[in-house]
A and B are shown apart, each in its own frame.
Chain A
Amino acid sequence: MKKTAPAEFAHLKRLENISIHILREAYASFKNLGMLWSIGKDSTVLLWLARKAFYGHVPFPLVHIDTHYKIAEMIEYRDRLTREWGLTMVVGENAEAIEKKETFPDGNCDRITCCRNLKTNALKHTLDGSWPRQRFNHELGRYERDRNIEPYTGVIAGVRADEEGSRSKERYFSPRNRSANWDIGDQPPEFWSYYKTDFAPGTHVRIHPLLDWTELNIWEYIRQEDIPTVSLYYDQGEGKRYRSLGCWPCTTPIESTSRTVDEIIHELKSGQLSNIAERSGRAQDKDDGGGLETLRRDGYM
């Protein structure tokens, strides 16, 4: 059952309206559109918004980068929703780095290089179609090589401005040049409801429908809409829960006894976490000087 009290959640309606508007603009403007789905709470809210915008359909592929170090429950959850919601699921990876063990857990590089190998590079080559993509075949119930190798020209991502410094400089529609670089000093103007939906050949655009949402908004919306989330976000009795999900070797849970969505909302509102960065459990951030700027410029999400 929905727990919507209209006046109380007017701000969620407002955020939802803008996000849906942006998703629809993106769908109308880009022939090759894809949406990144990290399995985390933000991109799952985004997926839910897409189902709202298109009335139960998600008319573009979801792209997931498998680092092979994701917590197992995340992958199970991904494939369950893929089946239940009839999603077009595309998975990419850096097979070479994994095979050659050029990873931090294997002890062969630092965290930043590992992120660059398993995430940034995998993402870049999956998006531009130069590395193999695996697509879920709903009839056979398994992944198979995707025949579509066209580059995605529009990429929807669930970044929020309040997450960390560099993301707060984003636009809803943010162009990237050929080498996926982000020119932070010279971004297009964006006013009223007009976004950068015209783009030169060879460039692509990142689309950020959740830019105005806060961590609290995300949880309030998960509660209002009853959106399924992985259990890793909740304390299972050990006084710990994950606040931000990533690869297990670089992600640590926070001290928290919140077992339910309601308790998380209460915890966020109480201010207990207000002086702790949301991604404080993500070790690579610290290694990048706190801003993630280096990784972000290269195309990290």
Chain B
Amino acid sequence: MKTQEQMNIVIVGHVDHGKSTVVGRLLADTDSLPKGKLQQIRDLCERTSKPFEYAFLLDALKDEQAQGITIDAARVFFKSSKRHYIIIDAPGHIEFLKNMITGASRAEAALLVIDAHEGVQENSRRHGYMLSMLGIRKVAVLINKMDLVDYSQEVFDRIRTEYGEFLSGIDLQPEVYIPVSGFHGDNVAAAGAKTPWYKGPTVLGALDGFSLPQRDENLPFRMPVQDVYKFTRFGDSRRIVSGTIGSGTLKVGDKVVFYPSGKSTVVNSLETFPAPEDGGGPAPEVEVAGNAVGFTLAEQLYITRGDLACRADQTPPKVSTRLKVSLFWLARQPMSMGKEYLVRIGTAKVKARLEKILRLIDASSLVASESPQAVGRHDVAECILHCDQPLAFDLSTENADTGRFVVIDNFEISGGGIVQEALQDEQSWVRDKVLVRNIKWEKSAIAREQRAEHYSQKSALVIVTGPVDSRKKEIAKAFEFHLFTQGRFTYYLGIGSLLYGVDADIKTLESDSRQEHRQEHLRRFAEVAHLFLDAGMILVATAADLNLEDLEIVRTVLQKHPVLVVWAGNQPSTDVPIDARIHGEESLDEAVSRIKAELQESGIIFRG
């Protein structure tokens, strides 16, 4: 039996340049049409006195034929002597760009059609640009309707030079340019007699000549975590980290690091179904890029969907909240500064804003526009995205798969792009230390969930803040006491208590330098808090006038541990989001029960 290789291809180009005709011709000439179908359409055209078009053949939908254009990414199947092909027919009308991108992103190779008579048009360039952004490298440019220019080599050469220059500006090198007549079939499946000057392959020959792009197993291992499964039915006790490997390889015994946290351990097993003991084949020695896999870990880590699994012995990914990117926008509503969006990269999903538009490029002409304020529909832009949580990723030049993202607006995928640079943010100095801390951390044999179960609580940090003269310490201590009498595992810590021990080396009495060391002081406080939380405690702390910048440092150190902020005092004078607010007139009992309700609401302790 022959191998059944399969390749997805997309066909793009300006409207009416002949995409449907080329596809129809490919089908007809490879004997891929249902019996009598071609004749049926020809008859129909005759009956309705319309000239025959290959486009009619492809329009499987009734109302689509009424409109006369292919309106969505349809698939067409055919095969050559070498392999099976799926053509994802992309329409050329500008408002259908999102369909073209949908089609093109599934494709391994592209045919780009240019009308010899009309020459290079706006969408010839725009689609070329999109292919380059989408990372499609196997491209054949078809200079179509050669019959309309008397199969002139001169016309062919002129278009080839003009378009070639444009493409080299966006780093796209087509494998071949082919003079064709879709309508008459020259150089589609069979060499055309009318182009004796052309010595290259036919369209079918060019397709067969493309090699399937291989997922790069030599790149560092990357796997966005889709989920951690723990299905207890049928007595199953496995905890399986699952996902699809984007690049690289993984085997039992590899040390894996999960980003952005930096938590790490060793791979214990590669899971399969049916399991070897249930009659399945043996588990693979190694899992490779492209595979949907699952593995268990030697130690229990708190990992969630959105983490990026990497290998400790390979180049680490970038981690930041600020990304310099190149993106394209598809939604009617422009992408605007200051508005909140969701960015998905791998399986992570975080809130993000446009911090700055560096340059707006008209995709079809590559002209950059000055001081832009928004990215409009079908625009391409270079910009800076600022996310509200750190993301793990690679630069697209280093790893295409982990270097691209989409932007969600109003529940819809509205844009997409590639990462060009990881920029520093205010938290980088803290995060770098936390990453190293996590990688080096000697883990206990007790998992976080086990502690939570043992103490009947999740660990959390409750920070009571407020003006210097507020009742914050009184409230915090009363709350600690209440939790304690309820049998909870808890501790009170005033942030100032650290100054003379943990902070002895940076503590000075001069107020100037105290301010200077404030950030380091907060980082150390957060590291101490991290120990308490790791031990499973509810830590109740007080800090005067906590602001958002302070809180960000604390959050960066504590990572996924919950932090609740309580404000003591009447008018909050802080930019920190507050979870509970205790007024001056409220009794301590009232304050305690309100903070407690907040903890219950967050699932840290149960009701009752």
Binding site for B on A (CB under 8 A): 2, 4, 7-11, 13-14, 16-18, 20-21, 24-25, 27-28, 51-57, 59, 86, 161-162, 164-166, 168-169, 171, 184-185, 187-194, 196, 198-200, 212, 214, 220, 274-275, 277, 289, 291, 293
Residue of A with least CB distance to B36: A275
Interface status of B294 (Cβ within 8 A of chain A): yes
Interface string of B32-55 (1 = CB under 8 A from A): 001100000000000000000000
How long is the Cα–Cα vector from A190 to B102 in the complex, in angstroms?
5
Q: Are B413 and A189 in contact (CB under 8 A)?
A: yes
Within the complex, what minimum Cβ distance (angstroms) separates A160 from chain B? 10
Q: Are A24 and B226 in contact (CB under 8 A)?
A: yes
A sample of 7 inter-chain contacts (CB < 8 A) reads: A11-B3, A55-B231, A55-B294, A189-B416, A198-B408, A198-B412, A293-B63
Q: Which residues of A contact B271 (CB under 8 A)?
A: 55
A4-B61 contact in complex given A17-B244, A171-B102, C-beta closer than 8 Å: no
10 closest cross-chain pairs (CB), A and B: A165-B60, A191-B105, A189-B98, A20-B292, A275-B35, A57-B231, A198-B411, A194-B406, A24-B226, A169-B72
Q: Which residues of A contact B514 (CB under 8 A)?
A: none
* Interfacial residues of chain B within 46-87, with CB under 8 A of chain A in the complex: 60-63, 71-77, 84, 86
Within the complex, what minimum Cβ distance (angstroms) separates B294 from chain A? 6
Most buried by B among A54, A164, A185, A191: A191
Q: Which residues of B contact A190 (CB under 8 A)?
A: 102, 105, 413
Q: Are B273 and A191 in contact (CB under 8 A)?
A: no
A168-B74 contact in complex given A189-B102, A192-B105, C-beta closer than 8 Å: yes
Q: Are B413 and A56 in contact (CB under 8 A)?
A: no
B3, B102, B231: which contacts A8 (Cβ < 8 A)?
B3
Interface string of B290-331 (1 = CB under 8 A from A): 111010000000000100000000000000000000000010
Interface status of B344 (Cβ within 8 A of chain A): yes
How long is the Cα–Cα vector from A293 to B238 in the complex, in angstroms?
45
* Majority secondary structure, A binding face: loop
How long is the Cα–Cα vector from A189 to B377 in the complex, in angstroms?
13
Q: Are B292 and A56 in contact (CB under 8 A)?
A: no
Q: Are B234 and A2 in contact (CB under 8 A)?
A: no
Instruction: List 11 additional contacts besides A8-B3, A17-B290; criterion CB under 8 Å.
Output: A4-B281, A11-B5, A14-B290, A27-B227, A55-B271, A55-B294, A56-B236, A164-B60, A188-B412, A196-B411, A212-B86
B227, B305, B412, B416: which contacts A191 (Cβ < 8 A)?
B416
Q: Are B227 and A56 in contact (CB under 8 A)?
A: no
Within the complex, what minimum Cβ distance (angstroms) separates A269 from chain B? 8
Q: Are A198 and B342 in contact (CB under 8 A)?
A: yes
How long is the Cα–Cα vector from A8 to B101 in the complex, in angstroms?
31
Within the complex, what minimum Cβ distance (angstroms) separates A58 from chain B? 10
Interface size class of B (residues with CB under 8 A): 35 or more
Q: Are A189 and B4 in contact (CB under 8 A)?
A: no
* Majority secondary structure, B binding face: mixed
Q: How many A-B residue pairs have CB under 8 A?
A: 151
Q: Are B61 and A165 in contact (CB under 8 A)?
A: yes
Q: Are A11 and B238 in contact (CB under 8 A)?
A: no
Q: Are A51 and B273 in contact (CB under 8 A)?
A: yes
Binding site for A on B (CB under 8 A): 1, 3-6, 34-35, 60-63, 71-77, 84, 86, 98-99, 101-102, 104-106, 134, 226-227, 229, 231, 233-234, 236, 238, 240, 242-244, 271, 273-275, 278, 280-281, 290-292, 294, 305, 330, 342, 344, 347, 401, 404, 406, 408, 410-413, 416
Q: Are B4 and A8 in contact (CB under 8 A)?
A: yes
Q: Are B77 and A194 in contact (CB under 8 A)?
A: no
How long is the Cα–Cα vector from A55 to B240 in the complex, in angstroms?
9
Residue of B with least CB distance to A165: B60
Q: Are A293 and B62 in contact (CB under 8 A)?
A: yes
A59-B231 contact in complex given A161-B75, A185-B72, C-beta closer than 8 Å: yes
How long is the Cα–Cα vector from A184 to B72 in the complex, in angstroms?
8
Q: Which residues of B contact A199 (CB under 8 A)?
A: 411
Q: Are A192 and B292 in contact (CB under 8 A)?
A: no
Q: Which residues of A contact B294 (CB under 8 A)?
A: 55
Within the complex, what minimum Cβ distance (angstroms) separates B168 from chain A? 25
Within the complex, what minimum Cβ distance (angstroms) separates B380 from chain A? 15
Within the complex, what minimum Cβ distance (angstroms) separates B292 from chain A? 4
Most buried by A among B60, B76, B292: B292
Q: Which residues of A contact B35 (CB under 8 A)?
A: 275
Residue of A with least CB distance to B232: A57
Q: Are B77 and A162 in contact (CB under 8 A)?
A: yes
Q: Are A54 and B330 in contact (CB under 8 A)?
A: no
A189-B330 contact in complex given A55-B294, A168-B60, C-beta closer than 8 Å: yes
Q: Which residues of B contact A7 (CB under 8 A)?
A: 3
Within the complex, what minimum Cβ distance (angstroms) separates B133 from chain A? 10
How long is the Cα–Cα vector from A166 to B73 in the complex, in angstroms?
11
How long is the Cα–Cα vector from A111 to B230 in the complex, in angstroms?
46
B63, B234, B342, B416: which contacts A192 (Cβ < 8 A)?
B416
Residue of A with least CB distance to B330: A189
Q: Are A21 and B292 in contact (CB under 8 A)?
A: yes
A24-B411 contact in complex given A187-B72, A192-B105, A275-B35, C-beta closer than 8 Å: no
Within the complex, what minimum Cβ distance (angstroms) separates B235 from chain A? 11
Within the complex, what minimum Cβ distance (angstroms) separates B82 from chain A? 13
Q: Which residues of B contact A24 (CB under 8 A)?
A: 226-227, 242-243, 292
How long is the Cα–Cα vector from A162 to B6 in the complex, in angstroms?
14
A27, A56, A184, A293: which contacts B71 (Cβ < 8 A)?
A184
Within the complex, what minimum Cβ distance (angstroms) separates A171 from chain B? 7
Q: Are B61 and A55 in contact (CB under 8 A)?
A: no
Q: Which residues of A contact B280 (CB under 8 A)?
A: 2
A4, A25, A56: which contacts B226 (Cβ < 8 A)?
A25
Q: Are A191 and B134 in contact (CB under 8 A)?
A: yes
How long is the Cα–Cα vector from A190 to B408 in the complex, in angstroms?
12
Q: Are A293 and B61 in contact (CB under 8 A)?
A: yes
A189-B101 contact in complex given A21-B226, A168-B75, C-beta closer than 8 Å: yes
Within the complex, what minimum Cβ distance (angstroms) separates A263 from chain B? 14
